[in-house]
Amino acid sequence: MIISVKGQEKEFEPGVSALDVFKELDREARKDAIAARINGKFIELMVPIHEGGELVPLGFEDEEARHLLRHTASHVMASAVKNLFPNAKLAIGPSIENGFYYDFDVEEPFQPEDLQKIEREMARIIKRNEREERFILPREEAIALMKERNEPYKVELIHDLPDEEELSFYRQGDFVDLCAGPHLPSTGKVKAFKLTSLAGAYWRGNEKNKMLQRIYGTAFYDKEELEDYLHKLEEAKKRDHRRLGRELDLFDIMEEGPGFPFYYPKGMVLRNTLEEYWREVHQQHGYEEIKTPVILSRDLWERSGHWDYYRENMYTTKIDERDFAIKPMNCPGSILTFKRKLWSYRDLPVRNGELGLVHRHEKSGALHGLMRVRCFTQDDAHLYMTQEHVKDEIIGVYQLSQLIYKTFGFEYRVELSTMPEDHIGTEEMWEVATAGLRDALEELKVPYILNEGDGAFYGPKIDFHLKDSIGRTWQCGTIQLDMNLPERFDLTYTGADGEKHRPVMIHRTIYGSMERFIGILVEHFGGAFPLWLSPVQARILTITHRADQAAQKLKKELEAAGIRVEIDLRNEKIGFKVREAQMMKVPYMLVIGDREAEEGTVSIRNRKGQAINGVNHEALIRTLKAEIDSKNLEQSDVFE
């Protein structure tokens, strides 16, 4: 069989490995590659090749190759744990985005200092450059091997694979693990790694099962990339919205309400500012706001399909002997508002927006600050239209989303998700709906990633993944095209022919959820919000009590101009007051002493460390107002 690498060809016997081919045709690739593709198919470097064609070496820049390296690193970690803690029982150890983890059942919980011991043992394993050898066993022999090695979780996994007559394992020195692979050829290719944290995790994610110990880590192909990633991790810790939410007195989650956020006055200012902006731009783009009930009857949720497809995530209650549910979605309520009257094709499209409070039962282990909560407000909108409107309406939603994300300084990528296995509606409906989304993206010339099988159960969708200031991505907005719920609810409009027709429905969010978007903004800006979003836009600081009257006068002037301001009249040194304001991320500190009080001016310090003296009140207000109205992301330098 003929195999080519970068234009070089040679005949090889079937069963040759990619490593052997690279040795003959590309020695540099043999040294640097961590995986390969033969005719587009991803393979390990040591797997036998039985077909000719083009062989492509893959480095760490390839996403699948990164996962392979990190999966191998998880095995190295598990091997190190077994060396140090022989009684530890192995559970699972996959690669994940930016890293890997492994779950263990141990007699005593791991401590932070154990991570350093495990890292040192991992380094010894890597230095020995142990080979990763794959072997296959029949089911009964696989079970016997795992019982012999006292690995009950692996035995359970094998029992849950009834259709697998043969199972694959990987051996690395004395360490053996049930694993489908793929892996690096040897441990020496794991060149840069770090164990990052400890956590508890229920076996198989079921809170009725035993709590296991999870070790998280990350791995890169070189130390420079690892150091860069660890720096970003440290930056992420500084920006953690849970910590900043408490420190900046914005919001918190309390033991009395796990997954149910509490907003403090400053947090409400931030939230209300976001809602006011949402209302402003939606009104400009032809949306009307509605409000639907939080609790609705079981009949409605059965009709929508949520009772069958989403029941385990819904909170339910009984009222007058009837079953009701607290809404996990806003769409059925919106549909009822559409059904309230007869519509003509001339009335369409109808665009209804709703800041709707929804509740979803999330498992306690999944809760995470504002990012994963049990109640949140979705900035939903539901659009009803004719088939002819679909492309233009999707384009309009996309452009509105683009406008809003640009306001906050977010870059984003787009994914198109198609029909899942568990869906409602016919395949023909899904094909038409998916084509509508795809055609709109292609007309906009938007590059997108195709995400097969990840659509909502009632329709395909476009998802927006926002990139924050330290390079992380967050899934926020979505555009979902739905031809199923209009059918289920018998929605109609009168066409030009005088006959009844079925409208098409678009579900969409832009913030996604108000709570999650606030959490993302806190981390994106590190709590140092642009002026228009800052709960406190300026703080007046007095140097002496003789300046108190002038400070009070300035406060009234700023408030009259719509500027959010605090005043600090405490008998403290000005340096102390300034540092405290800086810690609270106040954009502008306005200092008034005897001289400023006498002249009717103010000395200004901003968060960038810039200072200017002798600014009159009119110039101050004019500049602050201009910065607020423009929604600039950067602070103004101009006070002259």
Point out the residues that are catalytic: 331, 360, 378, 380, 382, 461, 507
Phi then psi for 556, rounded to 5 degrees? -65, -40
Report DSSP letters for 100-147, one per residue. EEEEEE-SS---HHHHHHHHHHHHHHHHHT-B-EEEEEEHHHHHHHHH
Q: Nearest to residue 179, comparing CAs of 201, 154, 145?
A: 154
Tally of CA atoms within 13 A in the half-sphere of 598 that contains its CB: 4
- The 3-state DSSP class for residue 72 equals helix
Residue whose pair of structure tokens reads 């440290």 in the numeric block:
234
Q: Nearest to residue 456, comparing CAs of 412, 493, 385, 505?
A: 505
Tally of CA atoms within 13 A in the half-sphere of 457 that contains its CB: 11
3-state SS track over 173-237: CCEEEECCCCCCCEHHHCCEEEEEEEEEEEHHHCCCCCEEEEEEEEEECCHHHHHHHHHHHHHHH
| Tokens read off for 466 | 């926002």
Q: How far is 605 from 144, CA to CA, in rounded Å?
A: 72
Long-range Cβ contacts of 154-160 (<8 Å, 24+ apart) = 154/90, 154/178, 157/92
Q: How far is 100 from 93, CA to CA, in rounded Å?
A: 7
Q: How far is 334 from 326, CA to CA, in rounded Å?
A: 15
Residue 275's CB: how many other CB atoms inside 10 A? 15
If you ran DSSP here, which 8-state letter would residue 582 be given? H
End-to-end C-alpha distance for the chain, whole angstroms: 77
Q: Check: CB of residue 348 under 8 Å from CB of residue 333.
A: no
Q: How far is 172 from 185, CA to CA, in rounded Å?
A: 10
Type and span of the H or E element at 500: strand 500-501
Q: Check: CB of residue 510 under 8 Å from CB of residue 402.
A: no
- The 3-state DSSP class for residue 473 equals strand
Q: Check: CB of residue 318 under 8 Å from CB of residue 470.
A: no
